[in-house]
Amino acid sequence: MQILSRDRIVQAVQLDQHAMAAVEAGFAALGRGDVTQPPIMSLDIAEANGEVDIKTAYIKGQAHFAIKISSGFFDNPALGLSSLNGLMIVMSAKTGVVEAVLLDEGYLTDIRTALAGGIAARCLSNEDSHRVTLIGAGLQAELQLAALLLVRSIDKVAVWARDTDKARIFTERLAKKYSLDVVVHEDIKTACQNADIIVTTTPAREPLLTAEDLPEGVHVTAMGSDSPYKRELNTSVLERANRVVVDTRSQSELNGELKAFKGQGLSFDVPELGKILTGQEYGRVRRDEITVCDLTGTGVQDTAIAAYALHALSTSEA
């Protein structure tokens, strides 16, 4: 059994086309019905303002599957610790023997989450999309941008975040690091007005984005909402969209943006991303359509990135 540190994993796994192909293959397997993916297990520890989520999935025919444990303890920064933490256990799908413990401290989750955003944009945004608006100024906002750079020729970035000072620092850093035209905005509507792609990456509990903020032809990826308490999109965004796509329907209804429609019938179809990847459902059909993809984070992404990491690590050792 291998026990692998974050440093070794970071060396072997990058936010690149290879990792994207692995995560995309996972979504496609989900679309084909070749994945067993139980509901997320959640443990709340209210006294410590903490929560733990456990995700897993088995992809038919794959030699390994992962069990991903991720924690968020939101009083940690006051103790000088990161709020987010996590590890993955990789088991043989033939024997159940533990093959590896990936002590990635959430790194692989960050990567596979960003890659899903890239995959969604490649599937749903117009091919010549070059202007991105980031709602949120955290690590995942940057990684979403990095993933978009893998699939579209981005040259302009607009940023809005609740904390404008944080947004400014983030903007300056991004402009330098990626040699891009990055501008900070003080309201969401202005930030979005020329966007080809909008990515929401916040832990908001009240919707931030409304239908009025959406320019014609835009694609929106909402990746922040991942619990019954979080929401980023006003229902008008989903009602206005020509196409709403989710990573996993049941998770979106429980933890994602579809929960806003709980108890109501939906007036629109909601295909899963994997079914678009496999051609069973269509995505965008016209330039001027508005598309939305709600990502809640799935066990199949974890199994896909963990299996890829094991492979990449074995290659990097050779």
> What residues make contact with a copy of itself under the rule CB under 8 A?
1, 3, 36, 38-39, 41-45, 47-48, 50, 52, 54, 56-58, 60, 65, 67, 69, 71-73, 76, 79, 81, 85, 87, 89, 91, 93-98, 101, 103
CB of 46 to a copy of itself, least distance (A): 8
The crossing angle, in degrees rounded to 10, of helices 17-32 and 139-151 is: 90
Asked if residues 204 and 187 have their Cβ atoms less than 8 Å apart, the reply is: no
CB of 87 to a copy of itself, least distance (A): 6
CB of 70 to a copy of itself, least distance (A): 9
CB of 217 to a copy of itself, least distance (A): 41
CB of 291 to a copy of itself, least distance (A): 32
How far apart CA 68 and CA 84 sit, in angstroms, is 13
CA distances from 188 to 167, 194, 225 (A): 12, 11, 18
| Cβ distance to a copy of itself smaller for residue 1 or 318 | 1
| Cβ distance to a copy of itself smaller for residue 93 or 183 | 93
| Cβ distance to a copy of itself smaller for residue 98 or 180 | 98
How far apart CA 210 and CA 131 sit, in angstroms, is 19
| Cβ distance to a copy of itself smaller for residue 85 or 291 | 85
Asked if residues 113 and 15 have their Cβ atoms less than 8 Å apart, the reply is: no
| Cβ distance to a copy of itself smaller for residue 36 or 314 | 36
Asked if residues 192 and 200 have their Cβ atoms less than 8 Å apart, the reply is: no
Q: Tokens 């023997």 sit at which residue?
A: 97
How far apart CA 184 and CA 314 sit, in angstroms, is 42
| Cβ distance to a copy of itself smaller for residue 105 or 232 | 105
CB of 136 to a copy of itself, least distance (A): 22
Element (H, E) at 167: helix 164-178
CB of 3 to a copy of itself, least distance (A): 6
Asked if residues 69 and 306 have their Cβ atoms less than 8 Å apart, the reply is: no
Longest alpha-carbon distance in the chain: 55
Tokens of 237: 């965004």
Asked if residues 130 and 163 have their Cβ atoms less than 8 Å apart, the reply is: no
Asked if residues 226 and 258 have their Cβ atoms less than 8 Å apart, the reply is: no
How far apart CA 306 and CA 106 sit, in angstroms, is 12
| Cβ distance to a copy of itself smaller for residue 83 or 235 | 83
